[in-house]
Each structure stands twice: as structure tokens, then as C-alpha cells.
Structure 1
């Protein structure tokens, strides 16, 4: 973290200097805004958090609640989300207060006495070492708190506007603020806000979705579950491990230990939903859920002492036909003005632990794109890529969740092999952890023609980190963890053995009017304000002399024009990133989007291709060489 480049800082370095709209932010909700976000759930909050890094963009986020969420329904934090939290600066802090999943146990009916359950398979939560990030469980409210803190400390000093309920909206054909939104206070007072763009993150019963006429397809799996967060005394031996429990008496439990040492969540199978029992299942009391749990856990007992929260729900799998206001038959003919994300556009069971995680990736995807368009960095056409990219991902999630929830509801006697559920969990870990997303070629993702130059950084997938050593101070670091959610693109130059190809590439990037750095950096801004360019050498750090590195990787920063010492890396002596990620020893360039997905892999001499790629989605600012 760098924070002294504008002068000595003695306070909390996470609090950025106020700038732009943050210098005189009105307390009251303005009549006109650039972006109005409806809903302060995970999707809405990460969108707002990303936009809080764009000082000249007026963003407000409203919610009908009167204050922060106290108890959240979602609690599973997959490693991809923890990786995202690292970009927002709070992965370490939230991990400290979370429950960390290390092992998963699978329980089955005892073959000798099916009325009893016995432990079967036991597997590591990440058996293949897919991620260096942990799999966590923590109250969703804490996730929202951390995003709120990030927003409040950002240049825009953003904070939620509570107590506003969405009523409806209209979209005009023209005008600077074409979307008119009608809100209402609990007192009945109405508020009209005109916005350039609106984001509906207002849940499964989204009013924004209704207003733009999106159609949800799918249906119910006709199976009901009771869910409860409880404090209890029990003799069940794996109460502090994640467990999938299937009983011979009928029904199953997904057990999720929670943060704090004693709290745990149980998803308890209530059985098939038929027309004649629909009402009874929906009105199941918490006492009945506890009784079901005790029957499933036999011979173990569960003495519930306190219930923090409980609910009954049916598994539903639905995804909308589009994630913005542009009808399917008009795609490509006009710019979207209204977007939906999270539960507003995809719903599924909670047992795969994907809802909050996928919703946050919706918001991360959309947030930087809105920021780029509204700050004049990109054309409006960029916004059409949100629905095109995320709708496919949501459908993949629905398809996966149907498999997982069906297996969870399956009776033990219907399995060909008792280990089938455990095997499915292990085989699908990469999907469960959030790392299977791969965006297809588009204006933001290049064709993978040069993929062989960096096989371990698949184009379209998230940038998979690896260890490196920072040359200036010999610090061992994870390269990907230096990618902050500040809205910038990352360009990683992997040097050839003797840097004979790297040097002319760096000179071109720093000095040519055609280079992306010069073409797309606004006049008067830091050279790395849009593209953060870093270098990784094949040598050990002791063999790289920092002052001899090309100036591109040692930019001057702040009013004192100090050197930036945090862009030059060497290989780690234990894990060579070139070998670990299949990077060609002749060197290459890996381009990574602001939301951490690999956008292109190119040879060092493919400068024309690099320039052409960025010109597809960044506006030319004609910055002159200095």
C-alpha cells in the first residue's frame, strides 16, 4: 500500500482523500444522479463500492430498510469472493472473524441399522489446492459492513440512503437523465430522482425488474427446506464441520458451521411439495424444523437453546431472459439504461453457496463499466457487454444448482453408490469456488490466438495469482493480490530472458502516441491512472537492479514526483511463476480487466494488436509523450 506520495500521512491510510463529488456531498438524496442503485444487498453494495472510486460520478444507493442489515440470509463466501474482497482491502479482516471450511464430512444411513446415521466420506474442502484463498462462512451483514466502510473511505465519501422504497420508473427516449425513478418514504412522502442509469439490485421480487419487463424462466423443484441459525447443545461429533447428512428415516441436512465458535446453520429437508401439503409446509414452525432435524440426526440429539433466524423456502431455479432494459429484438440498436443484478435476475437454492457470490461478480462486472462510461474513458457500447457476459454465467449456475439440489434431496437408497454426493462435491470444486467463469471473445476479451504464450492464464478466466518477489524491497508477494479495485486495467509484461524484447516494448508503451498508455490516459493524470503496467523478470530479485529498469515500470507519482517502487517483480525462488503458469521464456504480455479477468495474451512484439485491442473499448485521449 502506498500513501505517503502526496505527503506524510499519520492517520488510517485506507481513508483516501476526498475528491470530486466527495468534496461537497449533499446529505439529502439529489434530484439528479448519474447512477441510482436500488438495493443494498451484496450485488448493489459492490457496484456502489466500485463506483465510489470514480470521483466525478454521482452515485447514490437506496434501500427501503431504515438502516444496515442486522442478520443476513446468505453466509457462504467462496474463495473467488475472498479474492475479490482482497481487491477491496478487507479479505484478511473478514477472514479473521469468519468460520473457515477445512473439511467436509458426508453422513449416510448405517447399513446395519438404517434408522441411525454414520460418518462415511471425509474430504478436504479444497482437495486439489485450487485457490490460495479460504472458503469462509460469515454473516452477510458483515460483508455489507465492509463494503460500506470502503465506500465511506473512498474519494466520493459514499454511503447508503436508507428509508426509500422503489415504486416504479420510466425511461425517456432522450435527455441527459432519461430514467425517472419514483421512490417513497415510510411516511408516504414521494421522491422523484432522474438518473442517467439505474441498477436494480432489489432482490427476487425486484420492482426494477418488473418495471423493465424482464421475463424469468424456470420453476420450482417442488421440494421444501427449513433453514435455521441456532445455538444448541448436541452430541453430534461433526457439529463444527461442514456436513451433508442423509438419513434412512427420510430427509437430509446440510450443516454449515458459522463464525463465533458455537453458531451453526442447518438446511433441513422438509420433503416434497405437493398441492395438498403446500400450505402446511410453508407454515412449518421452527419447533417442527428442530424435530425434523432430530429425526434425521438419530442416534444423536440436538437441544436448541436459541434461534437467531429461521425460514422455510422452496427450491426455485429461475433466470431472466436479459439483464438490462433492451428488448431481445433490439439488442445492438440502443444503449441500455437500466440493469438488474443478483437475485433480481437469477434465483436458485442456497445450498450450493453461490447466490451472494455470483451476485457480487455481477456487481463487480457492472460497476467498473458504468464508471468508465460516465468518466469518459469508454463509449456507451461497453454497457451492452454486462448482460451478454453475466446472463450466460447465471444460466450455468442454474444448471449446476439443479444437479446439486437434486442430489441433496435424493433418498439414500436411490444412490448407486453412497459416495456419489461426496464425489460430485470433489469433482465440481472449481465451479463451487467460483473459478469456472470464462467470458467469450468480445470487445473486452481478445481471441486466444496466443494462449500458448501463457497457458496458465486462460483468456476470459480470472487471473490466477502466483508468488513473486518485489525487487525494490525483496518482499515475497502474490502477484494477483496487488490488483486493487481502483478501476484500473492491469498490463503484466513478462520479460524475456535477457530483456532484449522487453526494452523496446517498454519504450513503445512509454513514448509512442499509439501506445495504450499515451492514447487513453487523460491529460494531467498520472501515467498509470488507467493502465497499471507491471513487469515480472525471470531472474532472482538480487539479479535485477531497480534503477536500470525501464522508466515505464518506475513512474513518477504525486506532487513530489517520487518513484513508484511497486511495479517491478522477480521470480520467487520456490515457485517460478513462469513455470507455474506456463509463461513462455521468450516473454509475453498479459492484459487483465479491472474485474480481474484475463482479457488478452500477446507477444511482446505485437504492439499493433495491443493498441487495437484497447481502442475497441477505450476512448482516445491523445495524451502527448513527455
Structure 2
């Protein structure tokens, strides 16, 4: 963590100095904002947290509740989300308080007595080592708390504006603030009064019944619900031996339970199968009482018993899989003629069952995808065309999620005798684990994702997929670190330079090598992406350029490393040495990630997805890739 570059810091280094709109930030919601986010759920809060790192952007997030969420419905945190939390600086703390899933147990009717259940199998949660991050269970409310803390400590000093309900919006397309939003005070001295706010952009993160979605003419389409589940967070005394283990339980009577232990010990969640829902039910199943849910759970668990002592929360829901036709306000016939002004994220775009543990996770990635793009456009880094990529990228991900969840929830609802293979459920869980972990997303070629012309140079970093970290050793202090963990959610592009075999030695700075020639180009060439960085900011303000050498750290002379990898930062122009890495002898990243020993450049987006892979000599291709993504501005700030 870098924090002394502006002078000595004696307090909490997570609290960044206020800057831009964070200096004298108004307590009351302004009449005009750059971005208005509606809804403080996971998608909305991550979008806001990302935008909190852009001091020149006025972002406000409104929420109809009068204060923070106390009890959230979502609780499953997949490894990709923990990886994202790492970028926002709170992965270690949330891991410490969460429940960690390491195994899953599968219970089925006892072959000797089908009226009883018995444990049929156990599977490791991450059998193939997909991620270095764990699979967690922690209440959604705590996730929101961490994002709120991050926003409050950010340069913009952002915090949610509670007590505002979204009523409607109009996109006028006129002036600097072309979206007019009507809000209703739901709390405080002005309760019941309407309020109008004008915005450049609006983000609807207001859930499955999204009014923002309705205001831009989007509708959810898909399968009708036909199966109901009762869900409860409970404290109970039981003789069921795997009560602190994630379990899929199928009884001889046909009923099923998905058991999820919760953080803090004792508390656990049960999704209890309530069976098929008739077409003429008209929502009657939703009136199922907690006593009936507990009774059904005891039937399924036989011969074990469940003595419920307290219920923290419960609900009844019907499984439905729905997806919107678009994630922004641009109609199909308008594509290419204008850019979006209104976006929807999370449950406003896609709904599905809760049993795959994907809702909160995919919603947060919606916000991560959109947040930095809005920041780049509003700060003048990128053209508005960048915003059209949000809907194109995330709708495909949501469709894949719904297809996966349909299969998983169908398997969970099957009766034991309906399975062709007795191990079908656990086999599916293991076989598809990369998807629920959040690592199957692969963005298609676009202005943000290059064609895989040079993919063979870095087979372990597939273009379009998230950058998968690996161990390296930081040269300046010999510390072993994970390379990907050094990337924070600060809105910067990452350019990872994996060096050729040449060894940097003092007195050999002029020695020809591909990495030295690349460093000279990226530092000084007029077509280098770094040339777009405005004057008056740090050299690495827009692009974080790192180098990884093939030697171990003792074989790299940091004094001979090109200046491009040691930028000067802060008002004192201090030399930043922590961008220079060497291989870890225990896990050589060149071997682990299939990197060419001739050297390779891996370009990674601010939301951690690999955008391009190039040889060190392909500087013209790198310049061509970034050209449409950067506004035409030179180092002195002059527009060309």
C-alpha cells in the first residue's frame, strides 16, 4: 500500500485525502449530479465505490430505506467476488468474519431404508485449485458495510443518501444534464415531498421490481415460476451431524434441502423444498408459515430432528428465470446512433434462484464493469462510445448464469428416483465449479477486447477472461506477493510486461533487449498510451505499468531497470520501486501461466479482465488497441 508519497501519514492509511468533489462535499443531495445511482444493494454500492475513486465526478447513490440494510437475503460470496474485494482492500477482513466452505456433503435416501437419509458423498469445494481465494458465506449487509466504508474513505467522501424513493425519469437529451429524475422523500422532515434531480447518467440498481427498468421500457422475460422454496436463517438444536457443512439433502419422500452454514457459528440457512406450484396458485404458496417450513424440514431430515429456537429471517420464493432484452436505455434501432444515458444492473436485469449463490456475485460484477467506464468517460479519459460495451458484455453473462441456474435448480428439485446416475448431482457440482466460482466469464472481441492473435504467448491469461494471479517476488524488498493482488480498484489500466531473458545490470542500460526497447517506447513515444496522461498528475495516474523478470530477485539489479517501470510519484517526485518483480523459484510465473520466454505484454482492464496479449515488439499494435479508448489528449493537456 502506497501512502507516504504526499508526505508522512500517521493515521489510518486506508483513509485517502479528500480531493475534487470530496472537498466540502455537500451533505444534502445536489440538484445536479454526474451519476445518480438508484439502490444501495451490491450492484449499486460497488458501482458507487468504484466511482468514489474519481475525484472529478459527482456521484450520489439514493436509497428508499431510512438507513443501512440490517439483514440481507443474499449470503454466498464466490471466489471471484473475494478477488474483487481484494482490489477494494477488504478481502482479509471479510474472510476473517465469514464462514468458509471447504467441502460439500450430499445426503440421499438410505438404500437400506429409504425413509431415512444417509450421507452418500463429500466433495471438496475447490477440488482443482481454481482460485487462491476461498468460497465464503457472509451476510449481504456486511458486504454493503465494507463498500460504504471504502466510499467514505475515498477522495470523494461518498456516502448513500437514504430516504429517497425513485418515482420516474425522463431522458431529454438536452444540455449537460440530460436525465431528469423524480424522487420522493421517504424519511426525514420532508417525508412525502417530491424532489427533482438532473443527471448526466443514471444507474438503476433497484432490484427485481426495478422502477428504473420500467422507466426505460425494459421488461423481464423468461420462464414462469413453477417450484417453491421456503428459506430460513435459524438457530436450532439438532442431531444432524453435518449442520456446519454445506449440504444438498434429498429425502425418500422427494423433498430436498440446501443447507448453508452461516458466519459466526450456530446460525445456518435452509432452503426447504415446498414442491411444485400449480398454475392457478396465484401466489398462495407465499403465505406458507414458518411453522410449516420447519415441519417440512423435519420430514426431509428424518431420522434426524431440528428443534428451532430462533428464526432471524425467513421467506418463501418461487424459482423464476428472467432476463431483460437490454441493460441500458438505447433501443435496438438506435444502436450506433447514440450512447446510453440510463443503465440497469443486478436483479433489475436478471432474476434466478438463490441456490446457485450467484445473485449478489454477478450483480457486483455488473457494477464493476460499469463503474470504471462511467469514470473514464466523465473524466475525459475515454469517448462516450465506451459506455455501449456495458450492455453488450453483461447481458451475455446474465444469459449464461440463467442457463446454469436452470440446470442446477432443476437437479436440486428432482426426486432421487428420477436420477439416471445416483451421483449426478455431486458430479454436476464438481464438473461445473468454475462457473459458480465466477471465473467462466469470457468477454467477446470488441473495442475493449482484442482478437486472440497472439494468445499462444500467454496461454494462462486467456483474452476476455479475468487476469488469474500467480506468485512473484518484489525485487526492491524481496517480498513474495501475488501479482494480481497488487492491482487496486483505482480505475487504472494495467500493462504487465513479462521480460525477455536479458538480465538488467548496472552499466548495461544501453544493452539491446526487447524489454528495454519496449520501456523506451512506452515512456516517450507519441503514440504510447501513456502520452494521453495529462500533465500535473503522476506518471502512472492512468496506466499502471509493471515488469516481471525471468530471473529470481537476486539476479535483477533494480538500478538498471528502465525508468518506465520506476515512475516518479507525488509532489516530491519520489521513485516508485514496487512495480518491478522477479520470478518466485517455487512457482515460476512464466511456467505457471504459459508465458513466452521471448517476452510478452498482457493488457488488463480496470475491472481485471485481460484485454490483449502482445509480443514485446508489437508496439504499433498496442498503440492501435488503445487509440479508440483514449480521448485525443497529449501530456500537456492540449486536445488534438
Using the alignment, how far apart are the partners of 1:624 and 1:458 within structure 2?
36
Using the alignment, how far apart are the partners of 2:262 and 2:250 within structure 1?
21
* Residues 152-191 of structure 1: pairs in structure 2 closer than 5 A: 152-186=152-186, 187-191=191-195
Contact 2:173 2:179 in 1 (8 A): no
Alignment match, 1:97: 97
2:7 paired with 1:7: yes
Distance apart, 1:35 and its partner CA: 0.2
Alignment match, 2:379: 375
Greater Cα shift, 492-501 or 142-151: 492-501
Using the alignment, how far apart are the partners of 1:220 and 1:11 within structure 2?
54
Match of 2:587 among 575, 579, 600: 575
Match of 1:502 among 512, 515, 538: 515
Using the alignment, how far apart are the partners of 2:366 and 2:265 within structure 1?
32
2:442 paired with 1:430: no
Using the alignment, how far apart are the partners of 1:215 and 1:70 within structure 2?
30
Alignment match, 1:531: 543
2:469 paired with 1:465: yes
Match of 1:456 among 444, 454, 460: 460
Distance apart, 1:620 and its partner CA: 2.5
Match of 2:552 among 532, 535, 540: 540
Using the alignment, how far apart are the partners of 2:82 and 2:468 within structure 1?
13
Q: Deviations over 1:459-480 (max 9, x none)?
A: 0000000000000000000000
Alignment match, 2:16: 16
2:614 paired with 1:602: yes
SS at match of 2:621: helix
Contact 1:184 1:190 in 2 (8 A): yes
Distance apart, 1:24 and its partner CA: 1.3
Alignment match, 1:43: 43
SS at match of 1:291: helix
Alignment match, 2:530: 517
Alignment match, 1:220: 224
Using the alignment, how far apart are the partners of 2:18 and 2:154 within structure 1?
7
Distance apart, 1:618 and its partner CA: 1.2
Contact 1:323 1:387 in 2 (8 A): yes
Q: Deviations over 1:554-583 (max 9, x none)?
A: 111111111101100000010000000000
Q: Deviations over 1:171-200 (max 9, x none)?
A: 003211010000001221111000000000
Distance apart, 1:619 and its partner CA: 1.2
Alignment match, 2:131: 131
Contact 2:105 2:248 in 1 (8 A): yes
Using the alignment, how far apart are the partners of 2:617 and 2:264 within structure 1?
54
Q: Deviations over 1:44-90 (max 9, x none)?
A: 00000000000010000000000000000000000000000000000
Runs of 4+ in 1 over 3 A off after TM superposition: 275-280
Contact 1:73 1:140 in 2 (8 A): yes
Using the alignment, how far apart are the partners of 1:585 and 1:441 within structure 2?
26
Distance apart, 1:219 and its partner CA: 2.1
2:197 paired with 1:193: yes
Contact 2:208 2:351 in 1 (8 A): yes
Contact 1:521 1:623 in 2 (8 A): yes
2:418 paired with 1:414: yes
Contact 2:226 2:279 in 1 (8 A): no
Alignment match, 1:586: 598
Q: Deviations over 1:488-543 (max 9, x none)?
A: 0000000000161100100111111111112x101211111011000000000001
Q: Does the C-alpha gap of structure 1 residues 171 and 264 become closer, same or farther in structure 2, counting only changes over 3 Å?
A: same
Distance apart, 1:624 and its partner CA: 6.1
Contact 1:63 1:160 in 2 (8 A): yes
* TM-score, normalisation: structure 2: 0.97
* Residues 290-439 of structure 1: pairs in structure 2 closer than 5 A: 290-439=294-443
Q: Give the aligned length.
A: 624
Contact 1:454 1:583 in 2 (8 A): yes
Using the alignment, how far apart are the partners of 1:491 and 1:67 within structure 2?
40
Distance apart, 1:331 and its partner CA: 1.1
Using the alignment, how far apart are the partners of 1:583 and 1:220 within structure 2?
47
Q: Does the C-alpha gap of structure 1 residues 279 and 160 become closer, same or farther in structure 2, counting only changes over 3 Å?
A: closer
Distance apart, 1:413 and its partner CA: 0.5
Q: Which runs of 5+ in 2 are unaligned?
A: 504-512
Using the alignment, how far apart are the partners of 2:556 and 2:105 within structure 1?
48
2:445 paired with 1:441: yes
Greater Cα shift, 486-495 or 279-288: 279-288
Alignment match, 1:121: 121
Contact 1:513 1:624 in 2 (8 A): no
Alignment match, 1:209: 213
Q: Does the C-alpha gap of structure 1 residues 388 and 31 become closer, same or farther in structure 2, counting only changes over 3 Å?
A: same
Q: Does the C-alpha gap of structure 1 residues 3 and 78 become closer, same or farther in structure 2, counting only changes over 3 Å?
A: same
Alignment match, 1:34: 34
Using the alignment, how far apart are the partners of 2:573 and 2:58 within structure 1?
30
Distance apart, 1:43 and its partner CA: 0.0
Using the alignment, how far apart are the partners of 1:112 and 1:304 within structure 2?
29
Using the alignment, how far apart are the partners of 1:484 and 1:536 within structure 2?
18
Using the alignment, how far apart are the partners of 1:418 and 1:221 within structure 2?
27
SS at match of 1:152: helix
Distance apart, 1:250 and its partner CA: 2.1
Distance apart, 1:277 and its partner CA: 4.5
Distance apart, 1:330 and its partner CA: 1.2
Using the alignment, how far apart are the partners of 1:279 and 1:386 within structure 2?
35
Distance apart, 1:280 and its partner CA: 4.0
Distance apart, 1:264 and its partner CA: 0.3
Q: Deviations over 1:105-145 (max 9, x none)?
A: 00000111111000011000000000000000000000000
Alignment match, 1:271: 275
Contact 1:523 1:621 in 2 (8 A): no
Q: Deviations over 1:574-616 (max 9, x none)?
A: 0000000000000010000000000000010000000110112
Contact 1:37 1:44 in 2 (8 A): yes
Contact 2:117 2:303 in 1 (8 A): yes
Distance apart, 1:364 and its partner CA: 0.3
Q: Which runs of 5+ in 1 are unaligned?
A: none
